[in-house]
Chains A and B, each alone.
Chain A
Amino acid sequence: MSEQDQFDDIPGTYLFDRHRSRQGYHLNMFFFSLMKEENREAFLADEEGYLDRFPMTPEQRQCVLDRDWLRMIKLGGNIYYMSKFGATLGRSFQYMAGAMSGVTQEEYAAMMKRGGRSIAGNRSKSEGN
């Protein structure tokens, strides 16, 4: 198996490699801009207008407006950049984690408290281990 195939064989993770970095450049630079208070204010006051400053694709723009966290990742977003967007909306890593894995924040936090997501069954799609 090539290294790329090995990455793709891991379930539910999205390696921030050259493909996603190029695809997600403007999306991530939008997230990064939210490090500044004046930009957070400008975004919250006029989301559509603020997003016009960043030449992202219509799909990327829509998932920002929809708060579709998993789709942001699938379209080239990186979690550390995306966390700035979460913070702007008052959302924690745990909130985004719940949203990305399809459960509520409370359900997700309860799973973590029980010891986290088991590695068993989560290593490889092809081997199912």
Chain B
Amino acid sequence: MARIVGGLATSHVPAVGAAIDLGKTQTDHWKPLFDGYEPAQQWLARVNPDVIVLVYNDHATAFSLEIIPTFGIGVAEHFPPADEGWGPRPVPTVEGHAELAWHLSESLIFDEFDMTMINEMPVDHGLTVPLSLTCGKDSRCEAPERWPHRVVPISVNVVQYPPPTGKRCYDLGRAIRKAIEAYHEDLSIVVYGTGGMSLELHGERVGLINREWDTAFLDDLTRDPERLQSIPFIEYVRETGAEGIELVMWLIMRGALGDDARELYRHYHIPASNTASGLIVLEPAA
């Protein structure tokens, strides 16, 4: 039987990927952000999961307005880093876990979450930046030759309105937990939620930061996840920026941890390019 041994949520800012790729992590500007990831890297190395179920959103990369899947799951063996307009990031190809991904698809769909199954999917910064931050080497975040963990990508539409609700995301997380616990092989799994936090990327209000709101969100991942599930779309937009809605993906991770979770670590840094960068590590309560 497979089991979930931890959860991690982090922002997935493209400029953070660029800072890693261009060797700027040790500059005065960037170092405080990257230093904050070292404890999470050490935790992940210690837990050493077989698989990361990584919830992220595609940013008009693998998907466009042609097809807009609300929830997708990568069922392939490999996912190449995408060319987002400046060439692919120089990081290893992401290795999937097709057997587990197909099992999750079946279990989730019979549990009434109608996933889109995806075999061909280049993965953009939404997926590769969290891997660099948590599987890279120390605060430089240099990628290893191969990623140390297999990854099952779960994609969520948060670009085209309407995105799924926070409650729907939380419930999907619960269904992922149920599916994982029914898997035949003994795998240890960490679930990632990514994106956010305060994130207004366009218009005259670009660069909006709401530290107080973000802090309450981090607090309530363990104290009051019920409240987080009921935050309406309009509140994310008003309080954190239009792209702050990415935070619903953190709720999938939270839902997968079960009713009670314990916070092991957090890091919050302003600015990461246009945004507030957040990181939290949780473990399910015993």
Does residue B115 face the partner (Cβ distance < 8 Å to A)?
A: no
Mostly, the B contact residues are: loop
Q: In the complex, which residue of chain A has the Cβ closest to the Cβ of B240?
A: A119
Determine how close the nearest CB of chain B comes to the CB of A17; give it in whole angstroms. 4
Q: In the complex, which residue of chain B has the Cβ closest to the Cβ of A115?
A: B270
A116 touches B209 (CB 8 A): yes
B85 touches A79 (CB 8 A): no
In the complex, the number of residue pairs spanning A and B with C-beta atoms less than 8 Å apart equals 151
B65 touches A80 (CB 8 A): no
Choice from B66, B203, B241, B274 contacting A94 with Cβ under 8 Å: B274
B270 touches A14 (CB 8 A): no
B64 touches A28 (CB 8 A): yes
Please name all residues of chain A whose beta carbon is closer than 8 Å to the beta carbon of B181 when the two chains form the complex.
Answer: none
B241 touches A78 (CB 8 A): no
B209 touches A97 (CB 8 A): no
A87 touches B84 (CB 8 A): yes
Please name all residues of chain B whose beta carbon is closer than 8 Å to the beta carbon of A17 when the two chains form the complex.
Answer: 161
A sample of 14 cross-chain residue pairs with beta-carbon separation below 8 angstroms, ordered by A number, consists of A13-B200, A14-B242, A15-B161, A16-B159, A28-B65, A32-B65, A73-B203, A80-B159, A84-B84, A87-B86, A101-B204, A102-B204, A108-B206, A116-B207
Instruction: Please list the residues of chain B having a beta carbon within 8 angstroms of any beta carbon in chain A.
Output: 14-15, 29, 59-61, 64-66, 82-87, 159-161, 198, 200-213, 234, 237-239, 241-243, 270-271, 273-274, 276
Instruction: Please list the residues of chain A having a beta carbon within 8 angstroms of any beta carbon in chain B.
Output: 3, 6-7, 10-18, 21, 25, 28-29, 31-32, 34-37, 40, 70, 73, 78-88, 92-94, 97, 100-102, 108, 111-113, 115-119, 122-124
